[in-house]
């Protein structure tokens, strides 16, 4: 059974060309399934039925996995067992009848504009790495970039004359995002006044560099955002994706069209973007309650 998992991960890497992170995610799901099978019935893959897979997913839900994570694990199971059927390791696909759990209606967290301004204005560009960190946070908020998009940003992808940046997002899809005025100023200051000092002989064209001259890792960028929030005296949990939520929410609150926000965020489906309308409606209800005589 482990050998078939290994063959499948190799297939994802070589034939599908999927990322190392995705391979690890699939491997974790299948490893947990293998442990579940070993602890319960000592079955082989060919002996597993839909009920067994449902029982596995139920244990994951009871262990605290939310609906979105369960959906991801179910996708992993479906592509794995489909692979086994195509390779004639199984006659029937036990994962095919599985129905995904309903997505939770949890609203995205956000910050008001005053807190975002507090965060950004607290960064002193004259201090060591201040220009770099300010440029990173300004880009998150100005352009709604994902963490991976910040980490993968390269010099050749930005056009500061026209204030645009070319971004490759999920599904290898490329989009153009505008760079706001303050983000442009922060970027220019970093590129001319700080990045040259970080460059080493083997430095590539990554925009944001570590002190060693290499690209910043996602974990390091998360750490930078949290450190800057702490220094700004903000008690809330601040993380990169929260600034992306702020970008979308503040655009919507100020009258931007939802389709435009969808394009800027790089969402394939408008339904993904519509979650921000619920945030806006929540604010409208609060205003009505506070200010209407019979609210």
Asked if residue 103 is part of any domain, the answer here is no
pLDDT at 20: 87
Residues 73 and 122 in one domain: no
pLDDT for 232-270, tens place per residue? 999 999 999 999 999 999 998 888 888 889 989 988 888
Active site residue 294: no
* Greatest alpha-carbon span in the chain: 70
Asked if residue 96 is part of any domain, the answer here is no
Q: What is the mean pLDDT of residues 94-123?
A: 85
Q: What is the DSSP letter of 53?
A: H
Q: Which residues contact 33 (CB under 8 A, 6 or more apart)?
A: 53, 56, 77
Rounded-to-integer distance, Cα 120 and Cα 136, Å: 10
Q: What is the CATH number of the domain that holds 124?
A: 1.10.443.10
Q: What is the mean pLDDT of residues 72-83?
A: 94
Out of 32, 61, 166, 267, pick the active-site residue.
267
Residues 69 and 118 in one domain: no
Q: What is the mean pLDDT of residues 79-105?
A: 85
Phi, psi of 193 (to 5 degrees): -110, -10
Rounded-to-integer distance, Cα 13 and Cα 6, Å: 11
Out of 76, 146, 245, 250, pick the active-site residue.
146
Residue length of the chain: 295
pLDDT at 180: 92
Report residue 107's pLDDT band, with 50, 70 and 90 as the boundaries: low
Out of 170, 173, 182, 288, pick the active-site residue.
170
Domain that holds residue 196: 113-290
Q: What is the pTM of this model?
A: 0.64
Active site residue 288: no
Q: What is the CATH number of the domain that holds 54?
A: 1.10.150
pLDDT at 150: 95
Q: What is the mean pLDDT of residues 98-125?
A: 85
Report residue 279's pLDDT band, with 50, 70 and 90 as the boundaries: low
Please give the tally of structural domains in the chain: 2
């Amino acid at each position: 059974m482990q050998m078939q998992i290994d063959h499948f991960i190799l297939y994802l890497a070589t034939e599908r060309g999927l990322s190392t992170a995705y391979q690890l995610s699939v491997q974790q799901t299948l490893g947990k399934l293998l442990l579940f099978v070993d602890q319960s019935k000592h079955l082989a893959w060919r002996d597993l039925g839909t009920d067994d897979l449902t029982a596995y997913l139920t244990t994951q839900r009871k262990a605290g996995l939310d609906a979105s994570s369960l959906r991801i694990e179910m996708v992993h199971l479906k592509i794995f067992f489909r692979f086994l059927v195509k390779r004639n390791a199984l006659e029937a696909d036990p994962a095919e009848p599985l129905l995904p759990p309903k997505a939770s209606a949890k609203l995205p967290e956000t910050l008001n504009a005053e807190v975002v301004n507090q965060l950004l204005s607290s960064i002193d560009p004259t201090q060591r790495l201040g220009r770099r960190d300010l440029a990173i946070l300004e880009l998150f908020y100005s352009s709604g970039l994902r963490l991976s998009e910040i980490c993968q940003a390269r010099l050749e992808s930005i056009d500061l004359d026209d204030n645009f940046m070319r971004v490759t997002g999920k599904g290898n899809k490329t989009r153009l995002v505008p760079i706001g005025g303050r983000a442009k100023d922060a970027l220019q200051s970093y590129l001319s006044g700080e990045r040259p000092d970080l460059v080493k002989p083997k430095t590539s064209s990554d925009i944001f560099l570590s002190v060693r001259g290499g690209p910043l890792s996602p974990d390091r960028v998360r750490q930078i955002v949290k450190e800057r929030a702490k220094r700004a005296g903000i008690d809330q949990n601040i993380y990169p994706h929260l600034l992306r939520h702020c970008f979308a929410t503040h655009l919507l609150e100020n009258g931007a069209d939802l389709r435009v926000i969808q394009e800027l965020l790089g969402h394939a489906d408008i339904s993904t973007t519509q979650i921000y309308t619920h945030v806006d409606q929540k604010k409208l209800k609060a205003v009505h309650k506070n200010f209407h005589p019979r609210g």
